[in-house]
Amino acid sequence: MTELLDLRTDDGVATITLQHGKVNALCVELLAEIEEVAGRLAADASVGAVVITGGRRIFAAGADITQFAADTNPASFALADGGRVREVGGAFLRALGAVAALPMPTIAAINGVALGGGCELALACDFRIVAADARFGQPEILLGIIPGGGGTQRLARLVGPAVAKDLVFTGRTIDAAEATRVGLADRVVEPDDVLAAAQAWAADLARGPRRAIALAKRAIDAGLDRSIDDGLALEQDAFVEVFATRDATTGVQSFLEHGPGKAVFGG
């Protein structure tokens, strides 16, 4: 890893902290590191949940806009060519796709702002726990461009097309209360409590039946892009598969011997 990101693991929870300058701008280099770390975590059996944070002050203010310019001098300003734009967009696609594909639960712990690419990174997570004073938005339209890291797709799937179009077409920011109301935020806590609350939630999830959770996550996420019949078939395949796991043996045996809710899973 470079100085752009910090990774720490404790109690089955991996915490990824963005640390790129004052606003955690998502440059190509940081995105490549997120992709690489997500790939490693996906294969790490010791990790049962992942928290992504930008620290106490800010989550991420968006893409590094300088990477969209071939010349930043005001007198001779020129946008990057299509090849460079596709390179940056591809970095977002791969990094955020790697986060979304993690087989364990993921939680974005959000202080300050999550704007543009920062909001899109949060959308790639399963859950978002946010500070009471946090703000969200997809302000790309104010630059005359559109979101390129999932803002037109993951956002619409999460909050519905009408709300997504409102946020994308206007570029306006919303506060934690509105984010909760539209379904963008899952839990709101005081600013000083965001990371600890996210890690505690993640630790609870990490103590659960990890293979069962991974199969349930796969069925839910993949099923969203299929017909209901195809989604139900996918669920049935995962349902059969989970019975071949230690999770199922532990859970069903515990239920028969001790009743519901008493199983202790090994992680």
pLDDT tens-digit series, residues 78-87: 988 999 889 9
The beta strands (E) that lie in the chain are given as: 5-10, 13-18, 49-53, 69-71, 78-79, 106-110, 113-115, 127-131, 135-137, 173-175, 187-189
Contact of 4 with 64, CB cutoff 8 Å: no
Residue 87: phi and psi, rounded to 5, are -65, -45
Residue 174: phi and psi, rounded to 5, are -125, 155
The model scores a pTM over 0.85: yes
| Residue 257 a catalytic site member | no
Cβ-based neighbour number of residue 125 at 10 Å: 24
pLDDT of 188 higher than 80: yes
pLDDT of 73 higher than 90: no
What value does the mean pLDDT take over residues 197-224? 97
* Dihedral sign, Cα of residue 108, residue 109, residue 114, residue 117: negative
| Residue 120 a catalytic site member | yes
Band of the pLDDT at 230, cuts 50, 70, 90? very high
Q: Tell me the C-alpha distance between 116 and 102, whole Å.
A: 22
Contact of 139 with 133, CB cutoff 8 Å: no
Amino acid 5: pLDDT: 87
What value does the mean pLDDT take over residues 8-19? 95
pLDDT of 266 higher than 80: no
Provide the 8-state DSSP code for 53.
Answer: E
pLDDT of 2 higher than 60: no
Which residue would you say has higher pLDDT here, 24 or 2?
Answer: 24
Amino acid 86: pLDDT: 92
Contact of 242 with 251, CB cutoff 8 Å: no
Ramachandran area for residue 153 (φ above 0: left; ψ -120 to 50: alpha; else beta): alpha
Contact of 124 with 204, CB cutoff 8 Å: no
What value does the mean pLDDT take over residues 134-154? 97
What one-character-per-residue DSSP string does 63-111 give?
B-GGGGEEE--TTT-EEPPHHHHHHHHHHHHHHHHHHHT-SS-EEEEE-
Amino acid 257: pLDDT: 95
What value does the mean pLDDT take over residues 46-64? 95
- Domains in the chain and their CATH numbers? 5-206 (3.90.226.10), 210-258 (1.10.12.10)
- From the candidates 3, 33, 140, 257, give the one annotated as an active-site residue: 140
- From the candidates 3, 35, 120, 241, give the one annotated as an active-site residue: 120
Amino acid 267: pLDDT: 67
The position carrying tokens 């989970």 is 242
The position carrying tokens 């989550």 is 59
Percent of the chain with pLDDT over 90: 89
What value does the mean pLDDT take over residues 29-49? 96
If you average pLDDT over every residue of the chain, what do you get?
95
